[in-house]
Amino acid sequence: MNIRDSEYPYCSLDSGALKPEAAFFVVFGATGDLAKRKIFPSLFDLHMEKTLPQRLVMLGFARRDLDDGAFRADMREGCARHSRHKGFSDADWASFSSRIFYLASDVSDPAGYARLASLIGGGEKLAGLGQDFSLPRNALFYLAVGPEHFGLIADRLGEAGLGSGRRGAGTRRGQKPREGWRRLVVEKPYGRDEASAGALTEVLQRNFSERDIYRIDHYLGKETVQNLLYLRFANAIFEPIWNRNHIESMDISVFETEGIGQRGGYYDTAGAARDMLQNHLVQLMCLATMEPPASLDPESIRNEKVKVLQSVATHDGPELLRRSRRGQYAEGTDGQGNPVEAYAEAPKVRTGSATETYVSLTLELDNWRFSGVPITLRTGKAFAEKFSQIVVNFRRPPAALFAAQCGESLLPNRLVIRIQPDEGVWLRFNAKVPGMPAIKASDLRFSFRDVAEYLPEAYERLIADALSGDSTLFIRADESKFAWRIVDSLEAAWSSADPSARPDQGGLLRYAAGSPIPSLQSHE
Ligand code: BG6
């Protein structure tokens, strides 16, 4: 069954009226993995869903010496493998790919940007688009490159009059005032601490206004993550109990079965706290704990998230070590029994590296709603299971009647918001065991897969939103700053701890790849 056909009417929100606009969609790092695995397949899916405007011109920008044909062939392969529209026809592909072009240039070479400016400014035609194809005036620049290039590209765009900020507005002497919008989409990692993220923000804002900077956290593009606000604020039954009077604790987890694969070079300088906690887990916490925003506009929602981040309680080093755990996977096996090499043996990992592949951190929010409620953020690689979820543990009922007799075996209510897989919401409640004077917990389960044929890919949503000018699902500069503060203080505590110390004093736990998820109690 499709949710739209159910007995209840559905209500379409205003923001649904936002439409991707005609634009140059310029992908820096177009020959890289992200372009082939996510960006072009998502664009193709949007095209197949008829969500893309006809006048969207996609332009790959990278160093490799390719022509349009070779680049299109490469993207076709990526789309065939990674798009959700499998088995598409030549005609489908032709209608999409005729608007894909390639510009070979080094990211540091001003000549490449001059060419870009002339294309976007309408000074140069693109072969094959037809005489009557009117080129769009808008441009979105997608930075699918290593973070070391973010600042340089933003500067070069600004210098070429392609930005939207103080420098890039295209109104310097000799240049015509700019027509159309300019947007910059930035991938992670966005800095490696507060200082580097701040420095990057400065460069980006020198060339683009903050409202034109779209920082990606792909978790926000997931349907189940967006559902958090719908679940909380479109229902009247959750909000009255969504506070410290009724909630005992919250656990936010993202576990993965895969190790770090070939990403050792990046990962070893990051670790689980920087790679996952600073962004995905902190964002989930914000959405699960924020106050209702004044409206659904991007700034109202992001303001509320920032307030959550500002209310995170700070602790000294020893207390942070007590509240956190770090671990690294050792040799083990995957789900199929195949051997998995230890993190320490993975390519490009430094000898003797103490980089964590597992992190757990218990935070508290110093605010009226959640003061005193422990919120644990945990993430790890190479575990036995893969899932992302938010568990809201409610308080036990008072000791009258059942609780007095059953004690611990009367399980408290629990709401599981399952992000992936088995996307859905489960509510645990107690009921009578038929035929016996006994109580047993059961789950009320709602599964998105039962009511929707497919869940769109996070990137589809994010790309469509960026083309529509909706920045709700993107990270604002101050969100990134405050999120880094949390991780910076943890990193500082770890750096003063001995990796061979006790786990609650900052020691590095070793777990075999394929280990079961550690229970929260095992931390105590
Ligand atoms: C990325 C991290 O941001 O998220 C990866 O860099 C991680 O290390 C990935 O594997 C997880 O995303 P998802 O959508 O598979 O849960």
> CA–CA separation, 254 vs 380, rounded Å?
7
CB of 457 within 6 A of ligand 1: the answer is no
**From the alpha carbon of 254, which atom of ligand 1 is closest?**
16
- Size of the chain, expressed as the number of residues it contains: 524
Residue among 375, 361, 362 nearest 243 (CA): 375
350 burial level (CB within 10 Å; 0-12, 13-18, 19+): exposed
Residue with CA at minimum distance from ligand 1 atom 9: 276
Q: Which residues contact 28 (CB under 8 A, 6 or more apart)?
A: 61, 62, 107, 141, 142, 143, 144, 145, 149, 153
**From the alpha carbon of 258, which atom of ligand 1 is closest?**
10
pLDDT in tens, 127-157: 888 777 888 999 999 999 999 999 999 999 9
The mean pLDDT of 345-362, rounded to a whole number, is 97
pLDDT in tens, 250-273: 999 999 999 999 999 999 999 999
pLDDT at 166: 64
What does DSSP assign to residue 277? Answer: I
CB of 423 within 6 A of ligand 1: the answer is no
> CA–CA separation, 214 vs 463, rounded Å?
10
pLDDT band at 521 (very low <50, low <70, confident <90, very high): low
Per the CB < 8 A criterion, the answer to whether 170 and 162 are in contact is: yes
pLDDT in tens, 199-226: 999 999 999 999 999 999 999 999 999 9
User: Tokens for 138?
Assistant: 């808008």
229 pLDDT above the threshold of 90: yes
SS3 for 379-445 is EECCECCCEEEEEEEECCCCCCCHHHHHHHHCCCCEEEEEEECCCEEEEEEEEECCCCCCEEEEEEE
Phi first, then psi, for residue 414 (nearest 5°) are -150, 135
pTM (whole model) above 0.75: yes
> CA–CA separation, 130 vs 99, rounded Å?
11
pLDDT band at 398 (very low <50, low <70, confident <90, very high): confident
| C-alpha 218 – ligand 1 centre gap (Å) | 8
Q: Which residues contact 470 (CB under 8 A, 6 or more apart)?
A: 15, 18, 298
In the chain, % of residues over pLDDT 70? 95
> CA–CA separation, 107 vs 153, rounded Å?
6
CB of 388 within 6 A of ligand 1: the answer is yes
Residue with CA at minimum distance from ligand 1 atom 6: 275
**From the alpha carbon of 217, which atom of ligand 1 is closest?**
3
> CA–CA separation, 208 vs 202, rounded Å?
10
pLDDT at 15: 64
Q: Which residues contact 357 (CB under 8 A, 6 or more apart)?
A: 259, 260, 271, 272, 327, 328, 329, 343, 380, 381, 382
| C-alpha 496 – ligand 1 centre gap (Å) | 28
Cis peptide before 421 (omega within 30 of 0): yes
pLDDT at 237: 96
107 pLDDT above the threshold of 90: yes
Which residue out of 256, 268, 358, 386 has the highest number of ligand 1 atoms within 8 Å of its CB and is therefore the one to mutate? 256
| C-alpha 191 – ligand 1 centre gap (Å) | 17
**From the alpha carbon of 256, which atom of ligand 1 is closest?**
10
98 pLDDT above the threshold of 80: yes
CB of 217 within 6 A of ligand 1: the answer is no
The mean pLDDT of 362-372, rounded to a whole number, is 98
5 pLDDT above the threshold of 70: no
pLDDT band at 17 (very low <50, low <70, confident <90, very high): low
pLDDT at 260: 94
pLDDT band at 9 (very low <50, low <70, confident <90, very high): confident
pLDDT band at 55 (very low <50, low <70, confident <90, very high): very high
| C-alpha 214 – ligand 1 centre gap (Å) | 19
pLDDT at 16: 60
Count Cα atoms within 13 angstroms, Cβ side, for 137.
7
Cα dihedral value 426, 431, 434, 437, nearest 10: 150
The mean pLDDT of 455-472, rounded to a whole number, is 94
SS3 content of the chain, % helix, strand, coil (to 5): 40, 20, 40
The mean pLDDT of 339-360, rounded to a whole number, is 96
Per the CB < 8 A criterion, the answer to whether 503 and 359 are in contact is: no
| C-alpha 322 – ligand 1 centre gap (Å) | 27
pLDDT band at 12 (very low <50, low <70, confident <90, very high): confident
| C-alpha 276 – ligand 1 centre gap (Å) | 7
pLDDT at 403: 80
Question: Catalytic residues, which ones?
Answer: 280
Residue with CA at minimum distance from ligand 1 atom 14: 219
Q: Which residues contact 387 (CB under 8 A, 6 or more apart)?
A: 253, 254, 255, 418, 419, 420, 421, 422
The mean pLDDT of 301-327, rounded to a whole number, is 97
Residue with CA at minimum distance from ligand 1 atom 13: 219
> CA–CA separation, 262 vs 266, rounded Å?
9
Residue with CA at minimum distance from ligand 1 atom 10: 256
Query: In the predicted model, what is the mean pLDDT of the chain?
Result: 93
Residue among 121, 77, 132, 127 nearest 101 (CA): 127
CB of 465 within 6 A of ligand 1: the answer is no
Q: Which residues, listed in sequence order, are joined to residue 213 by a DSSP beta bridge?
A: 184
**From the alpha carbon of 388, which atom of ligand 1 is closest?**
16
Looking at 13-17, 84-88, 210-214, 290-294, which range is the least confident one? 13-17
Could you tell me which residue, 440 or 337, shows the higher pLDDT? 440
pLDDT at 504: 95
pLDDT at 168: 52
pLDDT at 221: 96
Could you tell me which residue, 214 or 452, shows the higher pLDDT? 214
Strands (E), 45-181: 56-62, 100-104, 139-143
pLDDT at 104: 97
Per the CB < 8 A criterion, the answer to whether 395 and 241 are in contact is: no
**From the alpha carbon of 189, which atom of ligand 1 is closest?**
6
463 pLDDT above the threshold of 80: yes
pLDDT at 173: 53
| Per-residue CA distances from 487 to 312, 359, 360, 432 (Å) | 12, 11, 12, 45
For the ranges 177-181, 221-225, 448-452, the maximum mean pLDDT occurs at 221-225
pLDDT at 115: 95
| C-alpha 328 – ligand 1 centre gap (Å) | 17
pLDDT at 123: 80
What does DSSP assign to residue 177? Answer: P
Which residue out of 220, 226, 275 has the highest number of ligand 1 atoms within 8 Å of its CB and is therefore the one to mutate? 275
